[in-house]
Amino acid sequence: MFLTSTDFIGYYQIAKPNSHQIGELQSYIDSVEPSVLRDLLGCELYDLFIADLVSGVPQSARFTAIFNAFNLDDGDCQYRSLGIKEMLKGFVYYSYVRDSDYFNTISGNVKNNFANSTGTRGVQYGLDERYNVSLDTYDTIQWYINENITNYPEYNGLNKEVKVWL
């Protein structure tokens, strides 16, 4: 829908994958995107959102309002959304990188081990931080929908209350 393996650069950089890993990363993208968006919007609003896309870009104002990045003040609070595409990058990055240290083989699940390097925990390379950044955008989009619920009567999203703590 929105992401390809070439989107994972900069803050969400994934080491240049080989041809096998590109397919694996794409399968994560194909799995995580619809799952997160259904959680975010609810099934009915998700279906309407997808139907509104033309070349991966929403057409109606109610969907562009939540698709694009925004920053809003509400009393003493600030709400910041990086936009749906950036949010999805973080959730895909988290899922893919978290799982990439382990492989399912004919011998069972194995952990990658290298002679010239030492593995690090996710917190040491910002895995949890990237998840939390995406979760903040997820929460902000849901706040916006609830504040403008008359524009989103089909909304039935799920809260993601548990953050990965650093």
pLDDT at residue 114, as a whole number = 52
Q: What is the pLDDT of residues 83-129, one digit of tens each?
A: 999 999 999 999 988 887 655 445 554 555 555 444 444 444 588 88
Identify the weakest region by mean pLDDT among 14-18, 69-73, 111-115, 120-124.
Answer: 120-124
Q: What is the 3-state secondary structure (H, E, C) of 23-82?
A: HHHHHHHHHHHHHHHHHHHCHHHHHHHHHCEECCEECCHHHHHHHCCEEEEECCEEEEEC
Please tell me the pTM assigned to this model.
Answer: 0.85
Q: What is the pLDDT of residue 117?
A: 45
What pLDDT does 124 receive? 46
- What pLDDT shows up at residue 42? 98
Express each pLDDT in 28-48 by its tens digit: 999 999 999 999 999 999 999
Region 14-40 average pLDDT: 86
Say yes or no to pLDDT of 136 above 80: yes
Quote the CA–CA distance of 148 and 157 in Å, as a whole number. Answer: 14
Q: Where are the domains of the chain?
A: 5-103+120-151
Sign of CA dihedral 140, 158, 164, 128: negative
Kind and range of the H or E run holding 110: strand 108-111
